[in-house]
Amino acid sequence: MDNKGKEIVMTYIPSLDELYTLVKKGDKDAFDLIYDKTWDLLYAIAYSRLKDEDAVKDILQEIYLDIWIKREVRCIDNLMGYLTNCVKKKVIDYFRKNIHTVEVVDDFAEIIVGSEYADTRLHDTELARVFAAWYDNLPRKRKEIFRFRYEDDYSTREISDLLKISRKTVQNQLLNSKGEFQNMLKKIFCNKKRIIFWV
């Protein structure tokens, strides 16, 4: 068969960021494409932490709905990065609201109690309540630094640039936060418990 003279048509596949530019203009088809292209990955990320299909679906629906409703006012340079970060934050919020262990709160700290005290190991719900109360009562600036580091995954350099403070100040605030939380646990549960932070 002679293919001479035949025009070859290449199908252009827009990137997620290009699709989002169309979404900002109210293009529903572009929004549907973003949904189709990102749902499976975001679902896998959330489900790997929650292991709850209904909770994961609720979280993703909230994220996509927010993307559409606020399309005209929100500026997003990296859509995939933004979406994965939204999932991360929503998962953290879910655990806080549902009293899960502190270990799953964005890997802030895994608390390991010495084996010699295994019979008095901290109960998940007790630990989560303690963490929630501690976090809610942090000074505003320290809470902000903590959130940027452990929820938004910013580096200490990025936080210092963002808040216009020295990197050393950021590092000291984080160290103080971890030390205070550790000391509080020792006082509440047992001064003899050996509690180790892996961060």
Instruction: For 16-56, write each residue's pLDDT tens digit.
Output: 999 999 999 999 999 999 999 999 999 999 998 888 899 99
Instruction: For 86-145, write each residue's pLDDT tens digit.
Output: 998 888 778 767 644 444 343 443 432 332 323 334 444 556 666 777 778 888 888 889
**Confidence label for 184 from pLDDT (cuts 50, 70 and 90):** confident
pLDDT reported for residue 98:
66
* Beta-bridge mates of residue 198: 110
Q: Greatest CA span in the chain, whole angstroms? A: 86
Residues sharing a CB contact under 8 Å with residue 156, sequence separation 6 or more, in sequence order: 149, 167, 170, 171, 174
- Domain 99-199 belongs to what topology? Arc Repressor Mutant, subunit A (1.10.10)
pLDDT reported for residue 80:
93
Rg (CA), the chain: 22
177, pLDDT greater than 80: yes
pLDDT reported for residue 33:
95
> So what CATH class is 10-98?
mainly alpha
Highest mean pLDDT among 23-32, 70-79, 178-187: 23-32
pLDDT reported for residue 44:
94
Domain boundaries for CATH 1.10.10.10 within the chain: 99-199
pLDDT reported for residue 180:
81
Does the predicted TM-score (pTM) go above 0.75?
no
For residues 165 and 177, give the distance between their C-alpha atoms in angstroms, rounded to a whole number: 17
pLDDT reported for residue 188:
61
pLDDT reported for residue 129:
66
Domain boundaries for CATH 1.10.1740.10 within the chain: 10-98
Closest CA to 127 of 162, 91, 92, 102: 102
More confident residue, 110 or 15: 15
pLDDT reported for residue 153:
72
